[in-house]
Structures are given as C-alpha cells and as structure tokens.
Amino acid sequence: MKEVIEAHVQEYGKTPDVLVSAPGRFHLIGEHTWFCKDKTLSMAVDFPIYIAISAREDLSARFYFVQMGERKRSNLSSLKFRKEDRWANALKAIFYGFTSGGFSLCGVDVTVWSEILPSAGFGITTAMKVGIAVGLKKLCSVPCSDVQLLQVIERGNKLFLGVGNYIADIYAAMYAQPGSCILTDHATGEYDILPFNFEDVSILLTDARVPRITVWDESTIAEPANVLLLGELKERKSHVYGGWQYEESDTEVNEVLSVVNEDMRRHMKCIMLEHKYVLEAVSALQKNDFARFCKTISRSHDGLRDLYLISCPEIDWLVKRVQDFDMTTVRNPNGCSRITGKGFGRCTYTILKTRDVPLYKEKLTEYERIFGFHPSCYEVKPAGGVHLCEF
C-alpha cells in the first residue's frame, strides 16, 4: 500500500484522495456454465490490486500502471474504446458505466498497482473494474446502491467493451470473505459464502505460460437452441442445494441431445457434469471432507479435458503430477489440481497438504525442463472483497 501511494505522489505530485484494494480470484468449478444459468464456485485470493485516485479540476482522466510503466489518457466528455489503450479500457468502461447512467464524475488521476499483470488471467481485470467503481463512488460521492453499482459495471462491460458481464467474476471481487469460497447462482443472481476450513492445506496458482490456442469456438455452445436443450434436462429436486439438478439417466440425456452433433453433445454433457461437481464440492466444503473435495476437483478437470476439450498436454502433465504423488491414493486423496479460467486458459490451481508444497515445486522445475516453458507459481490464501483503505 505504501508503494502505490509513493508512486502516485511521484507521478502526479499529490497524495491520493482515495485508495482502494480489490482481490484477484480464480474459479474452482463451473466457470463455463454461466450461459445456461448454472452455478460457479470461486475464491477471491490475496493478489491485491491497489487503485489510488485523486480528483482533478478538469474532466481529464490520467491512468498510470506502475508495474507496466504505461500511461494512458482520456476525457470524460469523449470516452472511446481504443485498442492501443489495452488495460486502461477496463477503467474507462467504468467511467462510461457511471456517466451513461446519469451519474456525474470529476476528472481524476489514477495509479494502478498490481504485482500480477492482467494477462495472467487471475481476475486482475475484474479487480480493476470493481476497484475503480468503488473508488469513484467514494471520491465523487455518487449516490448509488450496490445494485446500481453492479449496473454500472454491467453497462461498462456490455456497452463500452462489448464483452460479457460475468457476475461470478464480479461477485468474487465485491462480496468474497476471508477464508471462504463464494458460490454464484446465475439463475437467481444471488451468492452464498462457504467457509474453506480445510486444515494444513496450501493453495497454489500456476501460470504454465503455455500460449493460448483456441481449439473450438466456445460461443457456439451458448446458442439458444443448446440452452433450451439443457433446460429440458433440468429437474426440480427440493433436497438438492439450489433446488434442481440435471437428469442423470443416460437414456433420457442421449434422447434429448440426439439432435446435436457428437462434439456438441460431449461439450453439453460436460456442462451437466460441472453442475454436479459444483454441488459435490459445496457438500464437501460444508462437511469439511477434503478427500471428497479433491476427488470432485479431479473429476472436473477430467471432464474439461476429455469432453470440453480445453486443456493441453502441458496443463495435463501438471495436474497428473499432483494426482500421482506418493502420498495421494485413489480412495483418500490429499491433493487436487485443475485447469482454471474461462476460455482456453493456461493456468491451474492446486490444493494440497502444506507439507507437499516443496514436492510440487520440484515438479515445476521438471516441467520447465521437459516443455521449455518457465511457469510462475503463487501461493495464495482466500481473501475478502473490495474495500477502501485507510492511509
């Protein structure tokens, strides 16, 4: 926090009026199921991004990202998306979200501080959006509720950036609590906080540094016809968390999905399994059953690899090493690993006994020797959501 204040003073010659911290995050299960109103289990982590803001007397907006050494400019009266502005477009989108909703803002000087760059894919871009939204609300005394603030972010995403508005991303950055996971229900727009109480475990995020290559067009699964088919396979179950589950009869599933090609059928079956795994992971968290939790995470990765086709040999190698640890058995696993991120990601999360962290890091050295990519590994803890910092 001290560093971002010093950087702001050095850049603009004045101390910030507002300082905001927002967490990074990763999705444990269900990040590909938003389009059919399923559920996503996520965790905010202690990858804080700090945003320092001070008011200006004009309508200019100046942005400085310390770690990237980049500076961008804009004007509140003529906000435009510019490809060359890259990360700054995420900030400008929130300005647009406020002004397009009738809220008044002042000009600002903004400093962004994050040791993890947006390209890593650990929710840093969303943290920037949520952080600047909360900071502007405070700085400019914007009279908006949390619901209206969510609408600000949604307008920025959809109308300015032209991208999807993924509420699981936003809720993790806004509402997460320390030592917990957050479960987003895309059907109701609500969330639940689930304590992460497993003892003597560590959480590692690994950027495998594998170039992202698109294998198939993931947007095709979100076509309305496919959503309707999945809707036909949803069954009301009062005893199930959330009140419903997917049909489990293979005969019924195959009959409903017989109208789509084999590739799409496999992708849609993966979506159905992901919802099942979300429910199983929630149950394991509630019962503090680490072995069951690990089994569920491993099965989720297998489905994404074999049915959804978004993994790659490098990622699978990292995941397999955790599953093959001597201390891990099929019946009572002590660790798990999975690809994470929307789209064709290059990152994994690994949850294992703390005593086994050195062994995992040895495997990363072996990974680099075999594949030639230099991975980055970060040990993280469950963190709380966005907040204003006192300084």
List active site positions.
Answer: 169
Q: Using CA atoms, how far apart are residues 348 and 345, in angstroms rounded to an integer?
A: 8
Phi, psi of 292 (to 5 degrees): -65, -40
The letter for the amino acid at 176 is A
Non-local CB neighbours of 131 within 8 Å, separated by 6+ positions: 20, 21, 22, 49, 50, 51, 173, 386
Number of helical H runs and strand E runs in the chain: 11, 14
Q: Which residue has the tokens 């990519």?
A: 373
Contact 142/53 with Cβ under 8 angstroms? no
Joined tokens for residue 298: 């491993």
Contact 325/334 with Cβ under 8 angstroms? yes
Q: Using CA atoms, how far apart are residues 201 and 356, in angstroms rounded to an integer?
A: 9
Residue 372 gets the label, from left (phi > 0), alpha (psi -120 to 50) or beta, of: left
Q: Helix crossing, 313-323 with 290-306: angle to 10°?
A: 160
Of 184, 209, 168, 198, give the one whose Cα is nearest residue 382. 198
Non-local CB neighbours of 353 within 8 Å, separated by 6+ positions: 200, 201, 202, 327, 334, 335
Non-local CB neighbours of 302 within 8 Å, separated by 6+ positions: none
- CA separation, residue 48 to residues 83, 286, 348 (Å): 26, 27, 19
